[in-house]
Structure 1
Amino acid sequence: MNWLFEMPIATLTVLALLLALAPFAPEPHLVEKIRMLAHGELRKPIDIFDLCWHSSGLILLAIRLIRDARQ
């Protein structure tokens, strides 16, 4: 995971936000999938994959920020 820690934090932040907020209209997929999860409607494999995909950038950003804070 050296690539994660060598990437500039600004670039990682922009990529994480773009992935989390795509598509911008009518509603980001991440918001839609979290709502489905809260209502117990997240059942189809494609929806579960979509939740993982759109949240992956934020997870990587969190890993990077936690590691940087500990150093």
Structure 2
Amino acid sequence: MKNKNIGIWLLISLTLGLAPFLPEPHIWGKLRWIAGGAHGMQPMDWFDAFLHGTPWLVLFFLVGKTLVKRR
């Protein structure tokens, strides 16, 4: 059951977390913008980064939790 959850969150991360895919994954562009100082980011841009980043955070949390339990 738990591996099934990781698979679902992986699918969500690869679809919603990266969409739109061209010219570069959307979350990658947002992360570069934030790393560059976030100049000109509006509240909508922060919310957008949150929405595209949440699936990745959940996936990393579940993978980390699984790895810690296996020890």
**TM-score, length of structure 2 as denominator length:** 0.77
- Listed as ranges, the gaps of 5+ residues in structure 1 are none
- Listed as ranges, the gaps of 5+ residues in structure 2 are none
Q: Percent identity?
A: 31
The question of 1:67 aligning with 2:61 is answered no
Give the deviation of 1:28 after TM superposition. Answer: 2.0
RMSD (CA atoms)? 1.9
Correspondence for 2:42? 44
> In structure 2, what is the Cα distance between the partners aligned to 1:24 and 1:42?
23
Q: 1:65 to 1:43 in 2, by over 3 A?
A: same
Q: Which moved more, 1:33-42 or 1:15-24?
A: 33-42
Identify which of 11, 21, 24 aligns with 1:24.
Answer: 21
Q: 1:49 to 1:62 in 2, by over 3 A?
A: same
Opposite residue 66 of structure 1, the aligned amino acid is: G
Runs of 4+ in 1 over 2 A off after TM superposition: none
